[in-house]
């Protein structure tokens, strides 16, 4: 098994995050510094920050209704005064898990957390095209022509064009418009940049569905364990 997959299954980080941890020199295999691409098996002793990791893994799966004002990372090491992370919202007794994908600091809604690296990779890999539904509120109104531009794909950065998407107007008046938008990709701040491309500002953004999985009545900041049926559904999306 590749070392980054092993670390992901331990709930240390996603595979990409594990690659970063390896590059930082924090992982050792049988006493030597690990390298990207190394393989490990049951006979190997793997250490992270000096602590030996067990080869036995029990997968855990959680659903969080993320509030605004926290970051989707295990540790916030990018600022002098660390901000609250989604890990701070987990109750005692939750094992070592990591967030699947990311929601912006100011974005709310559905976030999965697990130590199942294979599932996390499948749900976030661009080629999987897993549909994710968002509730968006913008200031003012939006024209049919502007909606069609968004549906067809818009350039959000030089040479970066979004994929086709589904957009439905839920509610509108002169002051604001609420929409549902379904994406099958997850570029950084994609929705905010999409609406900026047609001259609109996103005032509120919340992820409300992954596939057909919903928040199931969870209040902001609440978390629950996924049922076996929900895990099966996600693995077969």
Residues forming the active site: 104
**Distance in angstroms (rounded) separating the CA atoms of residues 208 and 79:** 29
Q: Write down the residue that tokens 């022509």 correspond to.
A: 145
- Alpha carbon distance, N-terminus to C-terminus of the chain: 24
**Distance in angstroms (rounded) separating the CA atoms of residues 18 and 8:** 7
Judge contact between 27 and 34, C-beta under 8 A: yes
**Distance in angstroms (rounded) separating the CA atoms of residues 225 and 61:** 6
**Distance in angstroms (rounded) separating the CA atoms of residues 202 and 194:** 10
Judge contact between 230 and 224, C-beta under 8 A: no
Give the residue from 130, 133, 89, 96 showing the smallest Cα distance to 18.
96
Coil, strand or helix: which one is 141?
Answer: coil
Instruction: Give the list of residues 6+ apart from residue 36 with CB closer than 8 angstroms, or none.
Output: 3, 4, 19, 22, 23
**Distance in angstroms (rounded) separating the CA atoms of residues 56 and 229:** 23
């Amino acid at each position: 098994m590749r070392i980054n997959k092993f670390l992901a299954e331990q709930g240390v980080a996603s595979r990409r995050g594990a690659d970063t941890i390896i590059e930082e020199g924090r992982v050792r295999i049988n006493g030597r510094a690990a390298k990207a691409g190394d393989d490990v098996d049951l006979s190997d002793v793997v250490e992270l920050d000096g602590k030996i990791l067990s080869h036995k893994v029990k997968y855990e799966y959680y659903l969080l209704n993320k509030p605004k004002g926290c970051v989707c990372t295990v540790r916030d090491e990018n600022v002098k005064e660390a901000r609250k992370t989604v890990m701070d919202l987990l109750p005692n007794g939750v094992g070592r898990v990591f967030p699947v994908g990311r929601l912006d600091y100011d974005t709310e809604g559905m976030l999965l957390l697990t130590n199942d690296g294979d599932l996390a990779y499948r749900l976030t890999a661009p080629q999987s095209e897993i549909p994710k539904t968002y509730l968006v509120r913008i200031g003012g109104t939006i024209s049919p022509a502007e909606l069609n531009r968004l549906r067809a794909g818009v350039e959000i950065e030089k040479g970066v064009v979004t994929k086709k998407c589904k957009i439905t107007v839920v509610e509108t008046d002169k002051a604001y418009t609420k929409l549902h938008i379904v994406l099958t990709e997850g570029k950084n701040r994609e929705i905010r940049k999409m609406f900026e491309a047609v001259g609109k500002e996103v005032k509120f953004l919340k992820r409300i569905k992954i596939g057909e999985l919903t928040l199931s009545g969870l209040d902001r900041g609440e978390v629950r364990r996924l049922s076996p049926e929900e895990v099966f559904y996600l693995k077969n999306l």
